[in-house]
Amino acid sequence: MLISGLGNTGKEYAIQHGASSGVDLVKKPTYWEVVSKHLATLSGAKDLVVKPIHYAAEWMKLADPKCPYRVGVAAATKDAKNWFSLAELPGRVAKIFEGTGEFFEKRTPGSLLALINKVAKIVSPLSDSIKAVSKQVHPLSDAFKSRLEFIGNAAMCFGTAYDTAEQGRKHNEANKQPVPVSEPLKTLHVEGQHAETRGRAINIARNASYFALGALGLAALPVAPWVPLALATSGLGFTVIGHFHQEIAVKPIEKARIEVAGAA
């Protein structure tokens, strides 16, 4: 697909970048670049290192629950995960303040739901933080633990349901966008739409895993120990896959589209 319809500036841009199609203009980062960038953040270190190690330890304990070594490793990795959650709290609080400002500025049902979602997102790290600190200071009562688990599961169900609705809203909005006539903007637009659709599908799969996990907790159903662990592992897997897809497939196309549109 040859580049055409860009005007002199757009043609010069394309020639300078040696591109014969919109896809050629997309410069994707390597997996290692995405990993190193994500590891530099608290959430990235937690999702790529701390949680995978903890879940691996839990699966090992599940295979042999009577092994003291495996039980000890699982407990230690859980403590590490909880302490990481404590470090996440300032960022979560900042987002709540940001959402509060947006709500008072817009005063719409959508901004209110977005604020509630931000509050729901702090419940899990806050719960983990309370567990981490209480283990060093004073053990929690069983009744308090139950209430904490209930609130955490309810927040998980709300957050995943809200995000799934947001994925649907974004999909509908994307379908209403006009398709550019000229190349390579048309190709970049179509490829970008496809990449975003795949990303939304990944996010919905992640939400389904976590929603099922929260619903199981709320219903207090007697299930095999591997079921909630499998759901948590699945949710983490889709979270990591979704991040990589966003960084390697979605953002580079959007960046190329903006650059070409600016040169046209």
Residue type, 185: L
Distance of alpha carbon 97 from alpha carbon 101, whole angstroms: 6
DSSP, residue by residue, the chain: ----SSHHHHHHHHHHTT-SSGGGG--PPPHHHHHHHHHTSHHHHIIIIIHHHHHHHHHHHHH-TT-HHHHHHHHHHHHHHHHHHHHHHHHHHHHHHHHHHHHHHH--HHHHHHHHHHHHHHHHHHHHHHHHHHHHH-PPPHHHHHHHHHHHHHHHHHHHHHHHHHHHHHHHHHHHSPPPSSTTHHHHHHHHHHHHHHHHHHHHHHHHHHHHHHHHHHHT----THHHHHHHHHHHHHHHHHHHHIIIIIHHHHHHHHHHHHH-
Q: What is the pLDDT of residues 220-256, one digit of tens each?
A: 888 889 999 999 999 999 999 999 999 988 888 888 8
Domain ranges of the chain: 1-40+159-264
- Which has the closest alpha carbon to 260: 16, 50, 1? 16
pLDDT for the residue 237? 95
Q: Considering only 28-32, 73-77, 147-151, 191-195, which range has the smallest mean pLDDT?
A: 28-32
pLDDT for the residue 3? 36
Residue 264: band (very low, low, confident or very high) from pLDDT cuts 50, 70, 90: low
pLDDT for the residue 179? 74
Is the confidence at residue 20, as pLDDT, over 50?
A: no
pLDDT for the residue 15? 40
pLDDT averaged over the chain? Answer: 83
What predicted TM-score, i.e. pTM, was given to this entire model? 0.82
Contact status, residue 42 vs residue 88, Cβ threshold 8 Å: yes
pLDDT for the residue 214? 94
Q: Considering only 88-97, 134-143, 223-232, which range has the smallest mean pLDDT?
A: 134-143
Q: What is the pLDDT of residues 159-174, one digit of tens each?
A: 999 999 999 998 888 8
The beta-carbon contacts of 49-55 under 8 Å, at least 24 apart in sequence, are: 50/77, 50/80, 50/81, 50/84, 51/81, 51/236, 52/236, 53/77, 53/80, 54/78, 54/80, 54/81, 55/229, 55/232, 55/233, 55/236
Residue 85: band (very low, low, confident or very high) from pLDDT cuts 50, 70, 90: confident
